[in-house]
Amino acid sequence: MGVVVVAAGSGTRLGADRPKAFVELVGVTILERSLRGVLAALPDEVVVVVPPTHVDETSALVEHLGESGSRISVVAGGAERTDSVSAGLAELSEGIRWVLVHDAARCLTPVAVFERVLAALRAGVVGAIPGVPVVDTIKVVDTGGVITETPLRETLRAVQTPQGFDREVLTAAHAAGAAATDDAALVEALGHDVLVVKGDHRALKVTTPEDLVRAERLLSELP
């Protein structure tokens, strides 16, 4: 199994002086925390996708992570998240059958979430992603803000990463070239079923300064 960790976003909404993955959360960067979480899932291979300006710094970090048993490489990402994922996929070795795409920003994701996604792939699905039920009622609105639809809340899930797929299917989905905010959407667009498995509130995506505070609180509650 290979993992593509996307960390090439600028993190504008966090308002820091550096790309989000390089911001520290209680003394350790978001990227390093994510990578340690990913390595706990014992992947054969990890591709870390970072801004072109941060390839050297990340290569040094990866060396410092030490003996993990996983092959780790670092590549430069692109302007959109899908460009960064494509750059990571291109770097995976030929023999890799399943690939998990993970947002570096979800740096507190428990290893159990990786294991649930992998278990679903091993059981034969083409794609599996973690998700949690939504607490709010969600509305679909038009460009003027007028509600056009109220989906049944019981049918909705807020989805997270790692998102796992058959490697060939995900590569074909990216080659099809559409824009999307997650990888599952590209695979769905090809007509494949993607299963939602149980996510975890700790897999939050650190996006705003408030998320950093939440993440610090979650960390302080960990054993």
8: contact with ligand C5P by CB under 6 A: yes
Shortest gap between Cβ of 152 and ligand C5P (angstroms)?
26
Q: Is 17 exposed, middle or buried (0-12, 13-18, 19+ CB in 10 A)?
A: exposed
- Residue closest to 8 by CA, chosen among 28, 26, 30, 25: 30
Residues 33-72 contacting ligand C5P, CB under 6 A: 49
Residues 101-120 contacting ligand C5P, CB under 6 A: 103-105
Residues 75-94 contacting ligand C5P, CB under 6 A: 77-81, 84
Shortest gap between Cβ of 181 and ligand C5P (angstroms)?
7
Supply 74's token pair.
């670092």
Shortest gap between Cβ of 128 and ligand C5P (angstroms)?
19
7: contact with ligand C5P by CB under 6 A: yes
Which residue, 49 or 170, has its beta carbon nearer to ligand C5P? 49
Which residue, 32 or 125, has its beta carbon nearer to ligand C5P? 32
Show Cβ contacts of residue 135 under 8 Å, excluding neighbours closer than 6 positions.
none
162: contact with ligand C5P by CB under 6 A: no
Supply 46's token pair.
């990890």
* DSSP state letter for 214: H
| Distance from C-alpha of 59 to C-alpha of 82, rounded to nearest angstrom | 22
User: Could you tell me how many residues of this chain bind ligand C5P (CB under 6 A)?
Assistant: 18
51, 58 in Cβ contact below 8 A? no
183: contact with ligand C5P by CB under 6 A: no
Residue in 6, 89, 126, 186 binding ligand C5P, rule: CB under 6 A: 6
210: contact with ligand C5P by CB under 6 A: no
182, 93 in Cβ contact below 8 A? no
74, β-bridge pairs: 48
| Distance from C-alpha of 19 to C-alpha of 94, rounded to nearest angstrom | 31
* Binding positions for ligand C5P, rule: CB under 6 A: 6-9, 20-21, 49, 77-81, 84, 103-105, 205, 207
